[in-house]
Amino acid sequence: MAARENDQDSATPKDESDRSTRRSFLEGASALAVAAGTLAAASPAGPPIENLTATPPAGFQPMSAPGLVVKVNKAGSLQPNKLYPKPDDAKAMLVKGLQELTGKADLPTALSQFIHKDDRVVVKVNGIALRNMATNKELVLPILQGLIDMGVKAEEITVLEQYGSFFAATRIDASNVPKGVKIAIHGNGNATMEYRMIPGTGVQTKFCRYLTEATAAINVALVKDHSICGYTGLMKNMTHGCSINPHDFHVHRASPQIAMMYAQDAIRSRVRLNITDAFKVMAHGGPLDKKPEYRFPYEAIFVGTDAVAMDTIGAEIVEEFRKKSRLMTLTQEGRPPAYLRTAADLGLGIHDREKITLKEFTI
């Protein structure tokens, strides 16, 4: 089996040469901010780059709400094991969040604001920390059924993860998804696109075909500390979770790599809805749940279309729990999630906390 994602903190700049390289990375990010929306329309040193932009079905305009984040919490929503949510509570929290985000009364109608019945949908989950800290099936299964209820063909829905062990951690399998829904594992391969140089990184990659063959993506991630980049949430779930060589994009604290990868047309044009599974929070020892004593119940979910804003809130939550645990801040440890600022500079979302609207609801 392929090795699990490298979580070792091997990217700390050690000398002025490394710092100079980091400056060049950030200068590259700033320069690219004025490029076309996908940051991948053309290569200055070669032929035009393959266009991987996904186009919504004719006449359909997916809802977009920059800077808006909806939080729903419910005390007692975790099962007695404090690991997994109660199915009815998870669904009720999802429905409430999407109702408040869209103004629609029911789950299928709310989902139809982001997804068209003729879309090919990939749902990206996250199970790298294995069973005690993975995207929960209790939250994902209602999404799948809601898509079918709004008219998406089950055969056009794929639930995706990187490795088999990661997928198993979500407890989603062929026996519990709606009939016809596909389960896919890309194993850092299964890519049909051409290699692409990611601007500002000096590294090429491919995104797996389960992403590039879809027309829309729903991103379901977690709230976790990360030993290299400080925070891993929605953006990294797509960038490192859908590419064939994620380990090559960790240097310099994965900044600006995460931002530059998320800016690619293959990701940016597909992610229509972001959902953060915050039934638990990992404040330290991430991304592999190495220090379970820093895994805490939180009993909440977040929904929105702005992954930058949602990850900004997620990083705040990690810092809150680090403070309660008398740990140093991520900045004090030398691993702030700097890629979030770069992502905002690239127009991928809102990072300025004063410009983020967080609407909170309790059920």
Q: pLDDT by residue (tens digit) across 310-362?
A: 999 999 999 999 999 999 999 999 999 999 999 999 999 999 999 999 999 99
**Which helix (H) or strand (E) covers residue 341, if one does?**
helix 339-345
pLDDT at 138 over 90: yes
Across all residues in the chain, what is the average pLDDT?
Answer: 90
The strand pairing partners of 171, in sequence order, are none
Residue type, 95: V
Which two structure tokens, joined as six digits, stand for 22? 């980091």
Mean pLDDT, residues 108-121: 98
**Which range among 37-41, 261-265, 301-305 shows the weakest confidence by mean pLDDT?**
37-41
Residues 321/32, Cβ–Cβ less than 8 Å: no
**Element housing 90 (H / E):** helix 87-102
Find the range with the poorest average confidence among 9-23, 42-56, 264-278, 302-316: 9-23
Q: What is the mean pLDDT of residues 172-194?
A: 97
Backbone φ and ψ for 237, nearest 5 degrees, come out as: -60, -35
pLDDT at 146 over 90: yes
Which pLDDT belongs to residue 47?
65
Predicted confidence band at 34 (pLDDT cuts at 50, 70, 90)? very low
Residue range 65-362, CATH number: 3.40.50.11440
State yes or no: pLDDT of 243 exceeds 90: yes
Residue 40: predicted pLDDT: 43
Least confident of 31-45, 137-151, 262-276, 324-338: 31-45
What is the model's pLDDT at position 188?
A: 96
Residue spans per domain, the chain: 65-362
CA 42, 43, 47 angle in degrees (round to 5)? 85
Residue with tokens 């500002």: 200
pLDDT at residue 328, rounded to an integer: 98
- Specify the 3-state DSSP secondary structure of 260: helix
Position 23 pLDDT exceeds 90: no
**pLDDT tier, 305 (very low <50, low <70, confident <90, very high otherwise):** very high
pLDDT value of residue 43: 46
Q: Residue 262: pLDDT above 90?
A: yes
How many angstroms separate the most distant Cα atoms in the chain? 58
- Average pLDDT value for residue range 159-183: 97
Q: Phi and psi at residue 184, in whole multiples of 5°?
A: -135, 140
Write out the two tokens for 46: 């070669």
For residue 49, the model assigns a pLDDT of 85
Q: What angle do CA 355, 361, 363 make, to 5 degrees?
A: 165
Query: What's the confidence (pLDDT) of residue 211?
Result: 98
For the residues 266-288, what does the mean pLDDT come to?
Answer: 98
210 pLDDT above the threshold of 60: yes
* Cβ neighbour number for residue 216 with a 10 Å cutoff: 26
pLDDT score, position 45: 55
Does pLDDT of 1 surpass 80?
Answer: no
Closest CA to 59 of 136, 120, 118, 133: 118
Query: What's the pLDDT at 2?
Result: 39
